[in-house]
Amino acid sequence: MGLKGTYTAHIAVAASAVGLGVAVWGAAVLTDTEAAAGNAARPTRHAPAERAPEPGAPPVKMPESIAHAAEKGGNAVNITIDDGPDPRWTPKVLDVLEQNDVKAVFCMVGPQAARYPELVRRVVAEGHRLCDHTVSHDTTMDKKPVAYQKQQILQGKKMIEDAAGGAKVEYYRAPGGAFTPDSRRIAAAAGMRPLGWNVDTKDFHRPGTDAIVNTVRSELSNGPTILFHDGGGDRRQTVAALRQVLPWLKDQGRSFSFPVRTAP
């Protein structure tokens, strides 16, 4: 999945501004491994919805397992948006979500969040949740040392939370689904639930609006968590697909939820 040079340059500038000595996202561009690696995070069957802890109960340790289920359970689905924020496409995605009264999880790349904090704050203000998608979006993280994984995860989380003005990052999604036991442990210890997906819309490749919509319709039986993108390139097909998909999901009797964070 190639990224435009200007997009890569923006990330490099943002990373430099916060004093991070890491490779920019463009040095580890997205590839077809995103879909393949994501399959490892897919459940073979639906996981049960979580139950809320009793009032006054001690905090529940964040599970290290990869979440797919919806908090509401039943027919609820989770909309997740990756690789932003992007000044052109994130506002358009937010507008479509608002028009359909849908909340989503935005999995953000750290330097992008640092570069566009006003978009991060808008995401939070409109009731969506934040997810850490690392600093460099390195889809080979699972082959890197634990220290590198830790840096990518924790620095990404800090950059997003700083941009958000204090709002917490509640999930961690490994780039390309490249989770490891260590990365899941690091994320959970930092209060973030590892987050997978069930339906990869392939929108990153820009296959056409109809293809994106048809993928959701044909693969929704895989599970409730649907993957879209608002960053990494031209996302007009994603915006157009969301305009069709969200009303269609409602017509199918689906409600909208957030992914589970804790376990019973």
Please write the tens of the pLDDT for every residue from 60-76.
579 999 999 999 999 99
Distance CA(241)–CA(228), nearest Å, equals 10
Q: Which of 68, 26, 73, 103 is nearest to 179 (CA)?
A: 68
| Catalytic annotation, residues | 82, 229
Residue 94 near residue 123 (C-beta atoms within 8 A): yes
Domain boundaries, the chain: 5-25+67-257
Pair of tokens at residue 134? 């690392």
Instruction: Please give the radius of gyration of the chain, using alpha carbons only, rounded to the nearest integer.
Output: 17
3-state class (DSSP) for residue 67: strand
Residue 46 near residue 72 (C-beta atoms within 8 A): no
How much of the chain exceeds pLDDT 70, in percent? Answer: 77
Nearby residues of 128 by Cβ (< 8 Å), 6 or more positions away: 94, 97, 103, 104, 105, 106
CATH superfamily of 5-25+67-257: Glycoside hydrolase/deacetylase (3.20.20.370)
Please write the tens of the pLDDT for every residue from 111-135.
999 999 999 999 999 999 999 999 9
Please write the tens of the pLDDT for every residue from 90-100.
999 999 999 99
What pTM does this model have? 0.80
